[in-house]
Structure 1
Amino acid sequence: MPTPSTQDRHIIAARLKGYLNKPHDAIDLLTAALEEDPGSIRLLRFRGHRRISVRDFEGAIADLTTAATHLPEVPDEFELYQKDVEPDAIALILGATDIQDHHPSVQSLEGSPEADRYMTTLHSAVWYHLGVALYLDGQLSEAVEPFRKAYETARHYESKVASLDWSYMILRRLGREQEAEQLLTTFAGLVDEYDAQAAGYHERMELYSGRRSGDDLRDTILGDPIQLATVGYGLGNWYLYNGEPDKAETVFDEVLSAGARYAFAYLAAESERERRGELAAAYR
């Protein structure tokens, strides 16, 4: 790509700060960039994400809702993941002026081998993170539509399965079981698109589909902090709305013990602990 713009440099720097578990610093960088370009959907998308990390759900919802409102005005674009962003950040620090394009348009690359290294898109990411922020804020009904749109705009297996996973959990929580079952049919139809990048969400969807038991899945993740953090919350939720709140609370505690403070699953388990008495009463 040409020499990165000031906006792109702020985003790369903010993402690097996020990888270093310094989300407040990331927010400061993105806020500075937004002062120069207050209408940037791309900047709002990344700041909304990091506001989730610091438990500023109201701020995240505001950023991501604004971004979502203006998505029809902006062509969709691919986004890179950490494995590509981090080395480019280091390259820029060392004086590089020419790095790969972090935000190529979907139209320019879709269907080409070059598109394979991009795992999500701007539109899908905005909707997905808005759904997460609403969910963590306790606005379950309001989160249904963003996750539906995240699925519809997803172009990769991981994004599709992640959106289905959160949607399934929400619908089960809301007692909309028939709609939740329809999502399992959708998941079954994605078998030919399987990608190992979706590990965690894929296993959770297999649990919901009855392809593996809750207890067996729990046994496989207990010795792995990463899998415990990513899979455990969905497992705890599954125990909860299947009439085993004690097991759910145990798993939520195990997720928190993994210590992945900025993972969405950790944040969700944290919110469950805060509402423990209410949840226990509702599901016993």
Structure 2
Amino acid sequence: MTAVPLTHRYVIAARLKGYLGKHEESVALLTEALELEPDSPRLLRFRGHRRISISDYAGAIADLRAAADQLAGVEDEYEMYQPEVEKDVVSLILGRPEDVRPQHLSDTDAAANPEILGRYNTTLHASVWYHLGVAQYLAGDLEGCLPSFAESEKASRHQEGLVASQDWQYMALRRLGRTAEAEEVLDRFRTVDLVDEPHLVGYEGRMKLYTGEIGPDELWAMCDGNSLKTVTQGYGLGNWHYYNGDVDKAREVFDGVLKTRVTHAFAYLAVKAEYERNPDFATTSKEN
């Protein structure tokens, strides 16, 4: 039987716990793994992600900053896409380790096997920078998140990560009142050759709202009853109403986001952060 390295099994187990919504258990598993492989950028990346999910933004920033500081000397690698990870979980449970595919595919290996890249949907470097930016944004550091999202945008090789990095930059810049720089982000988005893929959760729609290609009602209709899309589209839409001066409409949309109870979604956490810290939503924070 082919052995699957222990730290790889830890990542698979931690990702499974995350898919099941057991984020604290995911963090605990990755903490165990880091005892075996201290300072691993890969393990820090995944633990940082799950720390965001439990609102431990300081811990997430510490993990992801430690990972980012090492990236210059680390070959980038592709990360397995969730549905593919689930297949490998089944293989491990059924005692078929020989069927478990590489969870992380280095650039060198990818160049030799380009036909298998469809199994992978993110890369280590882009994920580290993206999740660092998200943690900083959710912690209220709108200025500090901008360089992280810019690095994520540069490192992104997949549409979802690229557009999401642009979206968070745009929102942060608008909230900082730096409208001209926000428009430059939209100019970059306009050059993206968009492809509609089933797994996309809504950043493309949000960016189309910002450019004026679609209106707010059309964006909201695109949610089509999908809770994750409602959360993702909703935070962007509510934020758009907010920085365009309509606090009441923003509150209405944000309330809709919270009603989904998709508590692990970054957009859900962003609404919670608004209600906890933003004085414009002080009344709402007491009600939610």
TM-score, normalised with respect to structure 2: 0.93
1:149 to 137, 151, 167: 151
Corresponding position of 2:216: 214
Query: RMSD of the alignment, in Å?
Result: 1.9
Are the aligned partners of 1:162 and 1:198 in contact in 2 as well (CA < 8 Å)?
no
Segments of 5+ residues of structure 1 without an aligned counterpart are none
Corresponding position of 2:286: none
Superposed CA deviations along residues 145-196 of structure 1, whole A, max 9, x for unmatched, are 0000001000111110010111110111111111111111111111255645
Corresponding position of 1:105: 106
Superposed CA deviations along residues 77-112 of structure 1, whole A, max 9, x for unmatched, are 000121011121121011112211110112331592
What is the distance in 2 between the residues matched to 1:177 and 1:48?
30
Moved over 3 A (4+): 192-199, 278-281
Are the aligned partners of 2:45 and 2:128 in contact in 1 as well (CA < 8 Å)?
yes
2:165 to 156, 163, 166: 163
More off after superposition, 193-202 vs 4-13: 193-202
What is the distance in 1 between the residues matched to 2:224 and 2:173?
27
Asked if residue 64 in structure 1 is aligned to residue 64 in structure 2, the reply is yes
Are the aligned partners of 1:45 and 1:126 in contact in 2 as well (CA < 8 Å)?
yes
Corresponding position of 1:230: 232
Are the aligned partners of 2:231 and 2:267 in contact in 1 as well (CA < 8 Å)?
yes
Give, in angstroms, the shift of residue 226 of structure 1.
2.5
Are the aligned partners of 1:68 and 1:126 in contact in 2 as well (CA < 8 Å)?
yes
> Structure 1 residues 206, 222: CA separation in 2 closer, same or farther (over 3 Å shift)?
same
More off after superposition, 35-44 vs 130-139: 35-44
Give the aligned length: 281
| 1:1-284 paired onto structure 2 within 5 Å | 3-98=3-98, 99-110=100-111, 112-191=114-193, 195-221=197-223, 223-278=225-280
Superposed CA deviations along residues 52-84 of structure 1, whole A, max 9, x for unmatched, are 001100000000000000111110000012101
Are the aligned partners of 2:159 and 2:194 in contact in 1 as well (CA < 8 Å)?
no
| Aligned-pair identity (%) | 48
